[in-house]
Amino acid sequence: MGQGPQIDRRALLAAGAALGLAPALPALAADQDARVRALLKQMTLDEKIGQTHQPAGGRQKALNSKIDATALDLVRKGGVGSYLHVAGAAFLRELQRTAVEESRLKIPLLFAIDVVHGFRTLYPVPLAMAATFDPEIVRATARMAAVETAVSGLHWTFAPMVDIARDPRWGRIVEGAGEDPYLGSVMAAAQVRGFQGQGLNAKDSILACAKHFGAYGAAAGGRDYDSAELSDRTLNEVYLPPFHAAAKAGAGTMMTAFNDLNGEPTTANAALVRGVLKTQWTWPGLVVSDWNAILELINHGVAETPVQAAALALKAGVDMDMASGVYAAHLKTAIAQDPSLLPLLDQAVARILTAKMRLGLFDDPYRFGDPEREKTIFVGPEHRAIAREAARKAVVLLKNDGGLLPIAPTTRKIAVIGALATDSLSQLGSWKARGQVGDVAPLLPALQATAPAGTEIVHVAGASPRSDDESGVPAAVAAAKAADLVLLMVGEDFDHSGESRSRSDLSLPGAQETLARAVLATGKPVVVLLPSGRPLVAPEVLEKAPAVLATWFLGVEAGPALADILFGKAAPGGRLPVGFPRATGQSPTYYAHVPTGRPADPDLAKDTVRYHDVDIGPLFPFGHGLSYAAFAYSDLALDRDSIAPTGAVKVSLTLANTGAVEADEVVQLYVRDPVAGVARPVKELRGFHRLTLKPGERRRVTFTLAAAQLAIWSPGGWRIEAGKVEVMVGSSSADIRLRGAFAIAAPGKGRDPAAAILTPVSVV
């Protein structure tokens, strides 16, 4: 057990320490601000509009392919502020040279790309990173991704994606941190700090972009791009907190969502973007639209012409137009028709120039991009070590009946079944940036290398997630019968989740369900490895199989990380960032629901809030994850019975590893306000901590919980109510081990969204 010889833990931590934390987005120094203002004064209207224009420099699979003579001419005229879908140190240096040497005002360009879970070294997909419940490893992967991105000449990533997703039919659930606003806030802040390093003018820092502001994840029916219909309370308490946390962590940019919220397309929603984000939160960063979203205001039916669309988006507070070209082509006409738009354009351009100033591009436009380092740094040993650590931490042990895992050293013959077991491409996940399938360390050789000498490992595909062909099932059954243990890898491939990959049926795709049933019917011990970008619904398989690991898409170190877990070189410690439903029709379902007047009851004779044809609640709840060790929780203590609305209470407990191996536990702190002016969720996560304990080791964990973290959103602001607060500590949202209570002595007011306030944790 332990970290294993391959990973230099100290190097990993040193990388983290040296790279430090970003401060909140600082205001520009007075002289820099003066430079921005002076530049703005020199700019023609065309040059101003040019800054808001972000065309695609290529396609996602053919970066730079659109930078031709016409494109360069536009750069020379000052007609471009930024490019997306470009890369390459030498190429971007030349493109930047055109801007800063051949355009009138020599304003540098911003180069952007989607680096969502890695640039060339791909790490686990974001949902898997959230499953680590470890903000430090999340920060470290974002940091290393930023290093590779910056070396390739890029300044800006469209990440983190911080949309809350409570409906697993929505394919983009893979890109975020799952269902919970507190977990989402922690992960948002960790990624921003990773991407932006010690500050935007520090070496290897890139601009982060929290997206897609503000309720993209609430798309109706889980259909990507569809409308969100939300109460103001749910918007403020659930969907906006991760954006607030990202803003507080210093995110330099944000992207507006494609969809509408209560009928108002976000890209035209002045109350939300200009009102909440820019004015109420006083966040000073740059807002970019999503791809073509300004033009799509016409499809939404809120603009008749591109001129109107341009005016609406500018009024809403969208500073930069990604890909639609509407600002470039039509803002001039819009301003001629309505001169009151001009000061809004100036504000947008000031934010864009400020972002460039923050990155230091006016002082050194070639600060990013290093053709020499670019040759050596990608997928280097340190990047791989972090990728492996992250992948091991992301795996969630959903079941382990009879202690089937880790694999007993006496196991002689293992049948690995399923086409996904050799699908290295899928391990790269949905946003690949510059990732290459050849970089993925595959599963089968890793198993062979990790298994005790003499173990025979055979692979039979049996069935694939992309085909209904069942002809391979008999061979798989034969291999299972001949083996001592079966590793059955069934689930989704990388292209089942991601943008526009909504599914109405979350069962195992292709002939995999048939394969799984047949293999389970052999009676052999079966470990299911379940790769996916979302919760899947396969109750029969998951209930019958004695052991199940949720393995997501784990990046370049997928194979070795899985082998480490399977053979017990590392103990699984990941937790579900979103519950796994029992049936697709249960979606959306989430642990932090309000109690209702008729709480769900197992007795079907009673009329309660449940389905008649499926058991209550999810199959695997939020926060769930087992271990190879066992952990005892004891001695809950609150340092006071009652706190002021401005105060905080320390919640302490003792955690002991009562198992036989070193392993990680994720201690989770939930709260409930049992009687309030409005119904409150039955449980809300307000703190967690992942820690490693040796057998017999015990630690005292203390959370400092503020009264403001119980605040309720109301039209007048964040309201803190007086009264009792219940505290629950446990190993998942459904496995509460300790309970306590305290009181908030008097009513008060909060300032920040309650779920966006991060809880300090100490361990002694």
**Of residues 211 and 383, the one with the C-beta less far from ligand NOJ:** 211
**Of residues 219 and 655, the one with the C-beta less far from ligand NOJ:** 219
Q: Could you count the other beta carbons within 10 Å of the beta carbon of residue 519?
A: 28
Among 291, 378, 567, 631, binds ligand NOJ (CB under 6 A): 291
Contact 672, 682 (CB under 8 A): yes
**Of residues 114 and 148, the one with the C-beta less far from ligand NOJ:** 114
Burial zone of 347 (CB within 10 Å; 0-12 exposed, 13-18 middle, 19+ buried): middle
Minimum distance of ligand NOJ from residue 273's CB (angstroms)? 16
Place of tokens 């103990």: 571
Minimum distance of ligand NOJ from residue 158's CB (angstroms)? 3
Cα 460 to the center of its chain, rounded Å: 33
> How many residues contact ligand NOJ, by CB under 6 A?
7
* Using rule CB under 6 A, residue 290 touches ligand NOJ: yes
What is the Cα–Cα distance from 241 to 262, expressed in whole angstroms? 19
**Of residues 435 and 509, the one with the C-beta less far from ligand NOJ:** 435
Is 668 strand, coil or helix?
strand
- Token representation of residue 754: 């309650």
Minimum distance of ligand NOJ from residue 225's CB (angstroms)? 9
Minimum distance of ligand NOJ from residue 366's CB (angstroms)? 25
Place of tokens 């990941």: 574
Place of tokens 């809880």: 759
**Of residues 291 and 688, the one with the C-beta less far from ligand NOJ:** 291
* Using rule CB under 6 A, residue 499 touches ligand NOJ: yes
Beta strand pairing call for 286-288 and 264-265: unpaired
Rg (CA), the chain: 26
DSSP state letters, 729-757: EEEETTEEEEEEEEEE-S-EEESS-GGGS
Q: What size, in residues, is the chain? A: 764
* Using rule CB under 6 A, residue 114 touches ligand NOJ: yes
- Token representation of residue 450: 């990790």
What is the Cα–Cα distance from 180 to 708, expressed in whole angstroms? 18
Nearest residue to ligand NOJ on Cβ basis: 158
Minimum distance of ligand NOJ from residue 211's CB (angstroms)? 6
Active site residue 641: no
Query: Of the listed 290, 319, 423, 564, which one is catalytic?
Result: 290
**Of residues 259 and 627, the one with the C-beta less far from ligand NOJ:** 259
Q: Is the peptide bond before 462 cis (omega within 30 degrees of 0)?
A: no
CA distances from 709 to 7, 623, 719 (A): 37, 19, 10
**Of residues 55 and 509, the one with the C-beta less far from ligand NOJ:** 55
What is the Cα–Cα distance from 123 to 131, expressed in whole angstroms? 13
**Of residues 19 and 162, the one with the C-beta less far from ligand NOJ:** 162
Minimum distance of ligand NOJ from residue 84's CB (angstroms)? 6
Minimum distance of ligand NOJ from residue 553's CB (angstroms)? 17
- Token representation of residue 633: 């929780």
Residue 402's identity, in one-letter code, is G
What is the Cα–Cα distance from 216 to 196, expressed in whole angstroms? 24
**Of residues 166 and 211, the one with the C-beta less far from ligand NOJ:** 211
CA dihedral for 52, 283, 18, 705, sign (positive or negative): negative
**Of residues 22 and 293, the one with the C-beta less far from ligand NOJ:** 293
* Using rule CB under 6 A, residue 321 touches ligand NOJ: no
What is the Cα–Cα distance from 339 to 391, expressed in whole angstroms? 54
Among 111, 119, 123, 158, binds ligand NOJ (CB under 6 A): 158
Place of tokens 């195992």: 508
- Within residues 623-652, the interface with ligand NOJ by CB under 6 A covers none
Burial zone of 238 (CB within 10 Å; 0-12 exposed, 13-18 middle, 19+ buried): buried
Minimum distance of ligand NOJ from residue 290's CB (angstroms)? 5
- Within residues 571-600, the interface with ligand NOJ by CB under 6 A covers none
Burial 660-698 (b: 16+ CB within 10 A, else e): ebbbbbbbbbbbbbeebeeebbbbbbbbbbbbbbeeeee
Which residue from 313, 327, 304, 207 is spatially nearest to 257, judged by alpha carbons? 313
Minimum distance of ligand NOJ from residue 689's CB (angstroms)? 31
**Of residues 119 and 158, the one with the C-beta less far from ligand NOJ:** 158
* Using rule CB under 6 A, residue 742 touches ligand NOJ: no
Is 580 strand, coil or helix?
strand
Which residue from 531, 488, 492, 489 is spatially nearest to 128, judged by alpha carbons? 531
- Token representation of residue 59: 């396609």
* Using rule CB under 6 A, residue 260 touches ligand NOJ: no
* Using rule CB under 6 A, residue 296 touches ligand NOJ: no
Minimum distance of ligand NOJ from residue 118's CB (angstroms)? 15
Minimum distance of ligand NOJ from residue 277's CB (angstroms)? 17
**Of residues 112 and 398, the one with the C-beta less far from ligand NOJ:** 112
Q: Could you count the other beta carbons within 10 Å of the beta carbon of residue 62?
A: 9
Minimum distance of ligand NOJ from residue 746's CB (angstroms)? 44
What is the Cα–Cα distance from 694 to 20, expressed in whole angstroms? 28
Query: What is the x/- site pattern for ligand NOJ, positions 210-249, by CB under 6 A?
Result: -x--------------------------------------
Angle at 253 between CA 147 and CA 426, to 5 degrees: 55
DSSP state letters, 605-626: TS--SS-TTS-SS-SB-TT--B
User: Hey, which residues are catalytic here?
Assistant: 290
Q: Which residues bind ligand NOJ (CB under 6 A)?
A: 84, 114, 158, 211, 290-291, 499
